[in-house]
Amino acid sequence: MVIDGLGVYQIANILTAEKVLIPSAHWKKIGSENLRHQSYQDPCLWRGTVIRKILEKAEYMGHTVVFKTQRESYKNKKSKETPLDERVIFENTHEAIIDPETWHNAQRLRRPVRKPTKHGTPNRLTGLLYCADCGSKMSHDRSIDDRYGRSNKNEYVCSNYRVRTRSCTIHFIRVPVVEELILNALQEVSSFARNNEEAFTQLVMEASTIQQVETAQAYKKKLSEHKRRTNELDNIIRKLYEDKISGALSEKRFTKLSDEYEREQEDIEQTMENIQTELNDFSDKNVRADKFLELVKKYTDFTQLTTSMLNEFIEKVIVHERVKEYRYKTTQRVDIYFNFIGMVEIPKAEMLTIEESEIKQKKQYNTKNPYKLLEPYLEQQNCSLLTLSFSEIEQITEAKLCETAYKHGSYWYPSRGSKVAKIIFNAGYDIKKLDLKNQTITLTKPEELLVQKIGDGDKIEKTQAVS
Protein backbone atom coordinates (compact mmCIF):
# COMPACT_ATOMS: atom_id res chain seq x y z
CA MET A 1 0.00 0.00 0.00
CA VAL A 2 2.92 2.36 0.70
CA ILE A 3 4.28 1.60 -2.77
CA ASP A 4 0.86 2.63 -4.12
CA GLY A 5 1.30 6.05 -2.51
CA LEU A 6 -0.83 5.64 0.63
CA GLY A 7 0.10 7.07 4.04
CA VAL A 8 -0.13 5.29 7.39
CA TYR A 9 -3.50 6.85 8.31
CA GLN A 10 -4.96 6.07 4.89
CA ILE A 11 -3.87 2.45 5.31
CA ALA A 12 -5.37 2.39 8.80
CA ASN A 13 -8.71 3.64 7.47
CA ILE A 14 -8.74 0.98 4.74
CA LEU A 15 -7.99 -1.86 7.20
CA THR A 16 -10.68 -0.55 9.57
CA ALA A 17 -13.23 -0.41 6.75
CA GLU A 18 -12.34 -3.98 5.69
CA LYS A 19 -12.77 -5.23 9.29
CA VAL A 20 -9.24 -6.58 9.59
CA LEU A 21 -8.30 -7.54 13.18
CA ILE A 22 -5.72 -5.40 14.93
CA PRO A 23 -2.56 -7.26 16.15
CA SER A 24 -3.79 -7.60 19.77
CA ALA A 25 -7.12 -9.05 18.64
CA HIS A 26 -5.34 -11.39 16.21
CA TRP A 27 -3.02 -12.76 18.91
CA LYS A 28 -5.96 -13.29 21.23
CA LYS A 29 -7.94 -15.08 18.51
CA ILE A 30 -5.16 -17.60 17.80
CA GLY A 31 -4.61 -18.19 21.51
CA SER A 32 -1.17 -16.62 21.83
CA GLU A 33 0.23 -15.91 25.29
CA ASN A 34 1.85 -12.68 24.11
CA LEU A 35 -1.00 -10.37 25.10
CA ARG A 36 0.49 -7.01 26.09
CA HIS A 37 -2.64 -5.04 25.18
CA GLN A 38 -5.70 -7.02 26.17
CA SER A 39 -8.15 -4.13 26.53
CA TYR A 40 -9.45 -2.45 23.37
CA GLN A 41 -12.81 -1.02 22.39
CA ASP A 42 -12.96 -2.16 18.78
CA PRO A 43 -10.95 -5.20 17.55
CA CYS A 44 -10.91 -3.73 14.02
CA LEU A 45 -10.02 -0.10 14.82
CA TRP A 46 -6.55 0.53 13.38
CA ARG A 47 -4.37 3.51 14.25
CA GLY A 48 -1.67 5.19 12.22
CA THR A 49 0.99 4.65 14.91
CA VAL A 50 0.43 0.89 14.75
CA ILE A 51 0.84 0.90 10.96
CA ARG A 52 4.04 2.95 11.33
CA LYS A 53 5.58 0.47 13.78
CA ILE A 54 4.66 -2.47 11.54
CA LEU A 55 6.25 -0.80 8.50
CA GLU A 56 9.46 -0.10 10.43
CA LYS A 57 9.99 -3.70 11.59
CA ALA A 58 13.15 -5.15 10.06
CA GLU A 59 12.05 -8.60 11.29
CA TYR A 60 9.87 -8.96 8.18
CA MET A 61 13.08 -9.18 6.09
CA GLY A 62 14.13 -12.29 8.04
CA HIS A 63 16.31 -10.49 10.62
CA THR A 64 16.32 -10.61 14.41
CA VAL A 65 16.65 -7.24 16.17
CA VAL A 66 17.69 -7.10 19.83
CA PHE A 67 18.23 -4.29 22.37
CA LYS A 68 15.27 -2.36 20.97
CA THR A 69 14.51 -0.83 24.39
CA GLN A 70 16.63 0.23 27.35
CA ARG A 71 16.37 1.68 30.85
CA GLU A 72 18.34 4.62 32.14
CA SER A 73 18.83 2.99 35.55
CA TYR A 74 17.91 -0.16 37.43
CA LYS A 75 15.93 2.09 39.77
CA ASN A 76 13.75 3.32 36.91
CA LYS A 77 11.34 0.68 35.60
CA LYS A 78 10.29 2.78 32.59
CA SER A 79 11.76 1.69 29.24
CA LYS A 80 12.47 3.82 26.22
CA GLU A 81 13.37 3.01 22.64
CA THR A 82 17.04 2.49 21.82
CA PRO A 83 18.44 4.60 18.95
CA LEU A 84 18.58 2.69 15.68
CA ASP A 85 22.38 2.81 15.45
CA GLU A 86 22.70 1.16 18.91
CA ARG A 87 20.50 -1.84 18.12
CA VAL A 88 22.01 -5.22 17.22
CA ILE A 89 20.69 -6.95 14.09
CA PHE A 90 21.25 -10.63 13.26
CA GLU A 91 20.48 -11.08 9.58
CA ASN A 92 18.72 -14.02 7.89
CA THR A 93 17.70 -15.82 11.08
CA HIS A 94 14.24 -16.85 9.83
CA GLU A 95 12.14 -16.86 6.68
CA ALA A 96 11.48 -13.41 5.22
CA ILE A 97 8.00 -12.32 4.15
CA ILE A 98 9.24 -9.28 2.19
CA ASP A 99 12.40 -8.68 0.17
CA PRO A 100 14.91 -6.03 1.39
CA GLU A 101 14.49 -3.91 -1.75
CA THR A 102 10.75 -3.46 -1.20
CA TRP A 103 11.26 -2.78 2.53
CA HIS A 104 13.91 -0.11 1.92
CA ASN A 105 11.84 1.42 -0.88
CA ALA A 106 8.87 1.73 1.51
CA GLN A 107 11.08 3.48 4.08
CA ARG A 108 12.33 5.88 1.40
CA LEU A 109 8.78 6.73 0.32
CA ARG A 110 7.72 7.42 3.91
CA ARG A 111 10.45 10.00 4.55
CA PRO A 112 9.05 12.96 2.57
CA VAL A 113 6.26 14.89 4.26
CA ARG A 114 3.23 14.83 1.96
CA LYS A 115 0.69 17.20 3.44
CA PRO A 116 -2.81 17.04 1.95
CA THR A 117 -4.14 20.36 0.71
CA LYS A 118 -7.64 21.75 0.45
CA HIS A 119 -7.61 20.60 -3.17
CA GLY A 120 -7.24 16.93 -2.21
CA THR A 121 -4.42 14.44 -1.76
CA PRO A 122 -0.77 15.51 -2.21
CA ASN A 123 0.86 15.03 -5.58
CA ARG A 124 2.59 11.67 -6.10
CA LEU A 125 5.76 13.36 -7.41
CA THR A 126 6.43 15.06 -4.05
CA GLY A 127 9.74 13.86 -2.64
CA LEU A 128 11.09 12.68 -6.01
CA LEU A 129 12.00 16.03 -7.62
CA TYR A 130 15.24 17.81 -6.66
CA CYS A 131 16.81 21.10 -7.71
CA ALA A 132 19.96 20.58 -9.78
CA ASP A 133 21.70 23.70 -8.42
CA CYS A 134 21.09 23.78 -4.66
CA GLY A 135 20.05 20.13 -4.17
CA SER A 136 16.88 20.94 -2.23
CA LYS A 137 13.57 19.22 -2.85
CA MET A 138 11.11 20.77 -5.26
CA SER A 139 7.93 22.24 -3.79
CA HIS A 140 4.50 21.62 -5.34
CA ASP A 141 2.43 24.71 -6.14
CA ARG A 142 -1.29 24.06 -6.61
CA SER A 143 -2.73 27.47 -5.90
CA ILE A 144 -5.91 28.72 -7.56
CA ASP A 145 -5.78 31.63 -9.99
CA ASP A 146 -9.20 33.25 -10.41
CA ARG A 147 -8.06 35.83 -12.96
CA TYR A 148 -9.66 35.73 -16.39
CA GLY A 149 -7.87 33.51 -18.88
CA ARG A 150 -5.66 31.90 -16.22
CA SER A 151 -5.72 28.26 -15.15
CA ASN A 152 -5.03 26.81 -11.71
CA LYS A 153 -1.39 26.04 -10.99
CA ASN A 154 -0.02 22.50 -10.98
CA GLU A 155 3.74 22.86 -11.00
CA TYR A 156 6.95 22.36 -9.03
CA VAL A 157 9.47 25.04 -8.08
CA CYS A 158 12.68 25.02 -6.04
CA SER A 159 11.81 25.12 -2.33
CA ASN A 160 14.66 27.57 -1.61
CA TYR A 161 13.22 29.95 -4.18
CA ARG A 162 9.67 29.54 -2.88
CA VAL A 163 10.57 30.54 0.69
CA ARG A 164 11.96 33.74 -0.85
CA THR A 165 15.53 33.30 0.36
CA ARG A 166 16.63 34.01 -3.23
CA SER A 167 19.53 31.61 -2.68
CA CYS A 168 18.42 29.76 -5.82
CA THR A 169 16.38 30.33 -8.99
CA ILE A 170 12.85 29.07 -9.63
CA HIS A 171 13.53 25.86 -11.66
CA PHE A 172 9.88 25.89 -12.73
CA ILE A 173 8.41 22.75 -14.31
CA ARG A 174 4.80 21.63 -14.84
CA VAL A 175 3.51 18.33 -13.42
CA PRO A 176 2.08 16.94 -16.73
CA VAL A 177 5.42 17.58 -18.44
CA VAL A 178 7.39 15.74 -15.74
CA GLU A 179 5.02 12.78 -15.82
CA GLU A 180 5.26 12.54 -19.61
CA LEU A 181 9.07 12.69 -19.50
CA ILE A 182 9.17 9.95 -16.87
CA LEU A 183 6.76 7.75 -18.82
CA ASN A 184 8.71 8.17 -22.07
CA ALA A 185 12.02 7.42 -20.34
CA LEU A 186 10.50 4.40 -18.63
CA GLN A 187 9.08 3.08 -21.90
CA GLU A 188 12.42 3.43 -23.69
CA VAL A 189 14.54 1.90 -20.92
CA SER A 190 12.14 -0.98 -20.20
CA SER A 191 11.76 -1.79 -23.90
CA PHE A 192 15.53 -1.86 -24.43
CA ALA A 193 16.05 -3.93 -21.26
CA ARG A 194 13.38 -6.46 -22.20
CA ASN A 195 14.68 -6.98 -25.74
CA ASN A 196 18.44 -6.72 -25.08
CA GLU A 197 19.15 -8.10 -21.60
CA GLU A 198 22.88 -8.73 -22.05
CA ALA A 199 23.55 -5.40 -23.76
CA PHE A 200 21.46 -3.62 -21.13
CA THR A 201 23.39 -5.22 -18.25
CA GLN A 202 26.72 -4.24 -19.84
CA LEU A 203 25.49 -0.69 -20.49
CA VAL A 204 24.33 -0.27 -16.90
CA MET A 205 27.60 -1.57 -15.45
CA GLU A 206 29.65 0.81 -17.61
CA ALA A 207 27.47 3.79 -16.68
CA SER A 208 27.64 2.78 -13.01
CA THR A 209 31.46 2.61 -13.10
CA ILE A 210 31.64 6.14 -14.49
CA GLN A 211 29.19 7.48 -11.89
CA GLN A 212 31.05 5.73 -9.06
CA VAL A 213 34.39 7.18 -10.18
CA GLU A 214 32.92 10.70 -10.32
CA THR A 215 31.28 10.30 -6.90
CA ALA A 216 34.48 8.88 -5.39
CA GLN A 217 36.47 11.84 -6.72
CA ALA A 218 33.97 14.27 -5.18
CA TYR A 219 34.14 12.43 -1.84
CA LYS A 220 37.95 12.47 -1.84
CA LYS A 221 37.94 16.20 -2.57
CA LYS A 222 35.63 16.80 0.40
CA LEU A 223 37.87 14.64 2.61
CA SER A 224 40.90 16.69 1.61
CA GLU A 225 39.10 19.96 2.41
CA HIS A 226 37.94 18.66 5.82
CA LYS A 227 41.43 17.41 6.72
CA ARG A 228 42.89 20.80 5.84
CA ARG A 229 40.31 22.54 8.06
CA THR A 230 41.01 20.07 10.89
CA ASN A 231 44.72 20.91 10.79
CA GLU A 232 43.89 24.63 10.83
CA LEU A 233 41.70 24.13 13.91
CA ASP A 234 44.51 22.23 15.67
CA ASN A 235 46.87 25.16 15.06
CA ILE A 236 44.25 27.68 16.23
CA ILE A 237 43.57 25.77 19.47
CA ARG A 238 47.33 25.38 20.11
CA LYS A 239 47.81 29.14 19.66
CA LEU A 240 44.87 29.87 21.99
CA TYR A 241 46.47 27.68 24.66
CA GLU A 242 49.81 29.50 24.28
CA ASP A 243 48.03 32.86 24.60
CA LYS A 244 46.31 31.62 27.76
CA ILE A 245 49.61 30.48 29.30
CA SER A 246 51.27 33.79 28.46
CA GLY A 247 48.37 35.74 29.97
CA ALA A 248 47.31 37.37 26.70
CA LEU A 249 43.93 35.57 26.88
CA SER A 250 41.65 35.24 29.91
CA GLU A 251 40.44 31.87 31.18
CA LYS A 252 36.80 32.69 30.36
CA ARG A 253 37.62 33.81 26.82
CA PHE A 254 39.85 30.78 26.25
CA THR A 255 37.11 28.38 27.36
CA LYS A 256 34.50 29.97 25.10
CA LEU A 257 36.70 30.03 21.99
CA SER A 258 38.16 26.58 22.49
CA ASP A 259 34.68 25.07 22.99
CA GLU A 260 33.49 26.57 19.70
CA TYR A 261 36.49 25.32 17.74
CA GLU A 262 36.35 21.87 19.33
CA ARG A 263 32.66 21.60 18.51
CA GLU A 264 33.39 22.48 14.88
CA GLN A 265 36.22 19.94 14.83
CA GLU A 266 33.94 17.19 16.19
CA ASP A 267 31.36 17.91 13.49
CA ILE A 268 34.02 17.78 10.78
CA GLU A 269 35.44 14.50 12.13
CA GLN A 270 31.96 12.96 12.13
CA THR A 271 31.42 14.09 8.54
CA MET A 272 34.81 12.68 7.55
CA GLU A 273 33.95 9.36 9.19
CA ASN A 274 30.69 9.16 7.23
CA ILE A 275 32.44 9.98 3.95
CA GLN A 276 35.15 7.41 4.63
CA THR A 277 32.51 4.77 5.36
CA GLU A 278 30.84 5.56 2.04
CA LEU A 279 34.17 5.19 0.25
CA ASN A 280 34.94 1.88 1.98
CA ASP A 281 31.54 0.46 1.10
CA PHE A 282 31.65 1.77 -2.46
CA SER A 283 32.79 -1.53 -3.93
CA ASP A 284 29.85 -3.31 -2.29
CA LYS A 285 27.26 -0.94 -3.73
CA ASN A 286 27.01 -2.42 -7.20
CA VAL A 287 24.06 -1.59 -9.36
CA ARG A 288 21.77 -4.53 -9.84
CA ALA A 289 20.57 -4.73 -13.40
CA ASP A 290 19.05 -8.14 -12.64
CA LYS A 291 16.73 -6.58 -10.06
CA PHE A 292 15.64 -3.95 -12.56
CA LEU A 293 14.96 -6.64 -15.16
CA GLU A 294 12.80 -8.52 -12.66
CA LEU A 295 10.88 -5.32 -12.06
CA VAL A 296 10.42 -4.77 -15.81
CA LYS A 297 9.06 -8.30 -16.23
CA LYS A 298 6.63 -7.68 -13.37
CA TYR A 299 4.80 -5.05 -15.45
CA THR A 300 3.23 -5.83 -18.81
CA ASP A 301 1.66 -2.45 -19.59
CA PHE A 302 3.71 0.76 -19.79
CA THR A 303 1.12 2.88 -21.58
CA GLN A 304 0.10 4.74 -18.42
CA LEU A 305 2.20 5.91 -15.48
CA THR A 306 0.67 4.50 -12.28
CA THR A 307 1.67 5.50 -8.75
CA SER A 308 3.06 2.05 -7.91
CA MET A 309 5.07 2.06 -11.15
CA LEU A 310 6.44 5.52 -10.34
CA ASN A 311 7.48 4.52 -6.81
CA GLU A 312 9.05 1.21 -7.81
CA PHE A 313 11.02 2.41 -10.83
CA ILE A 314 12.00 6.03 -10.09
CA GLU A 315 14.61 6.95 -7.48
CA LYS A 316 14.76 10.70 -8.10
CA VAL A 317 14.37 13.37 -10.78
CA ILE A 318 16.89 16.22 -11.05
CA VAL A 319 15.44 19.41 -12.57
CA HIS A 320 17.78 22.00 -14.12
CA GLU A 321 16.98 25.65 -14.76
CA ARG A 322 15.42 26.64 -18.07
CA VAL A 323 17.61 28.15 -20.76
CA LYS A 324 15.92 30.80 -22.90
CA GLU A 325 16.87 30.72 -26.57
CA TYR A 326 14.50 33.34 -27.91
CA ARG A 327 11.19 34.92 -27.01
CA TYR A 328 8.91 31.87 -26.82
CA LYS A 329 11.45 29.04 -26.82
CA THR A 330 13.15 27.60 -23.76
CA THR A 331 14.92 24.30 -23.18
CA GLN A 332 15.29 22.51 -19.88
CA ARG A 333 17.34 19.50 -18.85
CA VAL A 334 15.76 16.83 -16.65
CA ASP A 335 17.79 13.87 -15.30
CA ILE A 336 15.79 10.77 -14.39
CA TYR A 337 17.39 8.23 -12.02
CA PHE A 338 15.97 4.71 -11.82
CA ASN A 339 16.08 2.39 -8.83
CA PHE A 340 18.91 -0.21 -8.96
CA ILE A 341 20.56 1.26 -12.10
CA GLY A 342 20.73 5.03 -11.65
CA MET A 343 20.71 7.25 -14.75
CA VAL A 344 21.35 5.43 -18.02
CA GLU A 345 21.39 6.65 -21.61
CA ILE A 346 19.92 4.21 -24.10
CA PRO A 347 21.88 4.13 -27.40
CA LYS A 348 20.15 5.43 -30.53
CA ALA A 349 17.26 6.72 -28.47
CA GLU A 350 17.09 10.32 -27.27
CA MET A 351 15.05 11.29 -24.28
CA LEU A 352 12.08 13.56 -24.91
CA THR A 353 12.97 17.13 -23.94
CA ILE A 354 10.72 19.60 -22.19
CA GLU A 355 10.30 21.63 -25.38
CA GLU A 356 9.38 18.55 -27.45
CA SER A 357 6.94 17.40 -24.78
CA GLU A 358 5.14 20.74 -24.68
CA ILE A 359 5.00 21.01 -28.49
CA LYS A 360 3.69 17.45 -28.69
CA GLN A 361 0.88 18.31 -26.28
CA LYS A 362 0.05 21.47 -28.24
CA LYS A 363 0.03 19.64 -31.56
CA GLN A 364 -2.33 17.05 -30.12
CA TYR A 365 -4.50 19.94 -29.03
CA ASN A 366 -4.31 21.39 -32.52
CA THR A 367 -6.09 18.33 -33.98
CA LYS A 368 -9.26 19.81 -32.46
CA ASN A 369 -8.31 23.35 -33.45
CA PRO A 370 -10.50 24.86 -36.20
CA TYR A 371 -7.46 26.80 -37.42
CA LYS A 372 -5.20 23.71 -37.73
CA LEU A 373 -4.73 24.23 -41.51
CA LEU A 374 -2.63 27.31 -40.71
CA GLU A 375 0.17 25.23 -39.19
CA PRO A 376 1.23 23.26 -42.33
CA TYR A 377 0.99 26.48 -44.36
CA LEU A 378 3.39 28.30 -42.01
CA GLU A 379 5.79 25.34 -41.89
CA GLN A 380 6.08 25.44 -45.69
CA GLN A 381 7.05 29.13 -45.69
CA ASN A 382 10.84 29.39 -45.59
CA CYS A 383 11.27 33.12 -45.01
CA SER A 384 12.34 35.28 -42.11
CA LEU A 385 9.50 37.79 -42.66
CA LEU A 386 5.91 36.98 -43.53
CA THR A 387 2.90 39.34 -43.68
CA LEU A 388 -0.66 38.00 -43.71
CA SER A 389 -4.02 39.75 -43.61
CA PHE A 390 -6.80 38.48 -41.39
CA SER A 391 -8.85 37.58 -44.48
CA GLU A 392 -5.94 35.50 -45.85
CA ILE A 393 -5.75 33.61 -42.55
CA GLU A 394 -9.48 32.90 -42.79
CA GLN A 395 -9.06 31.62 -46.37
CA ILE A 396 -6.14 29.36 -45.37
CA THR A 397 -7.91 27.93 -42.31
CA GLU A 398 -11.39 27.87 -43.86
CA ALA A 399 -12.65 29.23 -40.55
CA LYS A 400 -13.88 32.63 -39.39
CA LEU A 401 -11.76 34.51 -36.83
CA CYS A 402 -13.59 35.52 -33.68
CA GLU A 403 -14.42 39.13 -32.88
CA THR A 404 -11.65 39.30 -30.26
CA ALA A 405 -9.04 38.83 -33.00
CA TYR A 406 -10.20 42.09 -34.64
CA LYS A 407 -10.46 44.11 -31.42
CA HIS A 408 -7.71 43.03 -29.02
CA GLY A 409 -4.02 42.57 -29.79
CA SER A 410 -3.54 40.20 -26.84
CA TYR A 411 -5.47 37.55 -28.78
CA TRP A 412 -2.48 36.99 -31.06
CA TYR A 413 0.01 36.17 -28.28
CA PRO A 414 0.46 32.63 -26.81
CA SER A 415 0.29 33.84 -23.21
CA ARG A 416 -3.44 34.56 -23.64
CA GLY A 417 -4.32 30.99 -24.72
CA SER A 418 -5.32 31.85 -28.31
CA LYS A 419 -5.62 28.89 -30.68
CA VAL A 420 -4.18 30.84 -33.60
CA ALA A 421 -1.29 32.16 -31.49
CA LYS A 422 -0.37 28.60 -30.42
CA ILE A 423 -0.21 27.51 -34.06
CA ILE A 424 2.03 30.47 -34.93
CA PHE A 425 4.32 29.60 -32.03
CA ASN A 426 4.46 25.88 -32.91
CA ALA A 427 5.52 26.77 -36.46
CA GLY A 428 8.52 28.69 -35.06
CA TYR A 429 7.25 32.21 -35.81
CA ASP A 430 7.11 35.26 -33.61
CA ILE A 431 5.00 38.40 -34.02
CA LYS A 432 6.95 41.43 -35.21
CA LYS A 433 4.07 43.82 -35.94
CA LEU A 434 0.30 43.70 -35.44
CA ASP A 435 -1.93 46.24 -37.21
CA LEU A 436 -5.54 45.95 -36.05
CA LYS A 437 -6.58 48.97 -38.10
CA ASN A 438 -5.47 47.47 -41.42
CA GLN A 439 -6.09 43.92 -40.15
CA THR A 440 -2.62 42.57 -40.93
CA ILE A 441 0.00 40.69 -38.96
CA THR A 442 3.72 40.49 -39.70
CA LEU A 443 5.54 37.34 -38.54
CA THR A 444 9.26 36.75 -38.17
CA LYS A 445 11.22 33.52 -37.79
CA PRO A 446 14.59 33.39 -35.99
CA GLU A 447 17.58 32.65 -38.19
CA GLU A 448 18.43 29.40 -36.39
CA LEU A 449 15.04 27.94 -37.41
CA LEU A 450 15.33 28.74 -41.11
CA VAL A 451 15.92 25.85 -43.50
CA GLN A 452 18.09 26.36 -46.58
CA LYS A 453 16.97 24.24 -49.55
CA ILE A 454 19.69 22.91 -51.87
CA GLY A 455 19.90 20.31 -54.61
CA ASP A 456 16.87 18.09 -55.13
CA GLY A 457 14.98 18.97 -52.03
CA ASP A 458 17.85 18.26 -49.63
CA LYS A 459 17.76 20.40 -46.52
CA ILE A 460 20.46 21.84 -44.31
CA GLU A 461 19.26 23.13 -40.98
CA LYS A 462 21.11 26.16 -39.71
CA THR A 463 22.08 26.05 -36.07
CA GLN A 464 23.24 28.86 -33.89
CA ALA A 465 25.20 28.34 -30.70
CA VAL A 466 23.53 29.59 -27.58
CA SER A 467 25.85 31.14 -25.05
- Provide DSSP, 174-234: EHHHHHHHHHHHHHHHHHHHHH-HHHHHHHHHHHHHHHHHHHHHHHHHHHHHHHHHHHHHH
What is the pLDDT at residue 455? 36
Tell me how far apart the alpha carbons of residues 234 and 317 are, in angstroms, rounded to a whole number: 41
**pLDDT above 80 (res 440):** yes
Confidence of residue 281 (pLDDT cuts 50, 70, 90): low
C-alpha 411: how far from its chain's center? 35
> If you write DSSP's letter for every residue of 397-426 in order, what string do you get?
HTSPPPHHHHH-GGGGSGGGT-HHHHHHHH
| Close Cβ partners of 401 (under 8 Å, ≥ 6 residues apart) | 390, 393, 394, 420
Tell me how far apart the alpha carbons of residues 275 and 258 are, in angstroms, rounded to a whole number: 26
| Close Cβ partners of 172 (under 8 Å, ≥ 6 residues apart) | 155, 156, 157, 322
Tell me how far apart the alpha carbons of residues 239 and 291 are, in angstroms, rounded to a whole number: 56
Cα angle vertex 102, ends 96, 107, to 5°? Answer: 110
**pLDDT (tens digit per residue) in 205-216:** 776 666 666 667
Q: What is the mean pLDDT of the chain?
A: 77
Confidence of residue 448 (pLDDT cuts 50, 70, 90): low
Q: What is the mean pLDDT of residues 228-247?
A: 85
Q: Which of 5-14, 284-293, 357-366 has the lowest mean pLDDT?
A: 357-366
What is the pLDDT at residue 17? 87
**pLDDT (tens digit per residue) in 161-205:** 877 666 788 888 888 899 999 998 888 888 888 888 788 777 777
Tell me how far apart the alpha carbons of residues 197 and 300 are, in angstroms, rounded to a whole number: 16
**pLDDT above 70 (res 257):** yes
pTM: 0.59
**pLDDT (tens digit per residue) in 333-367:** 898 888 888 787 776 544 444 444 444 444 444 44
What is the pLDDT at residue 226? 81
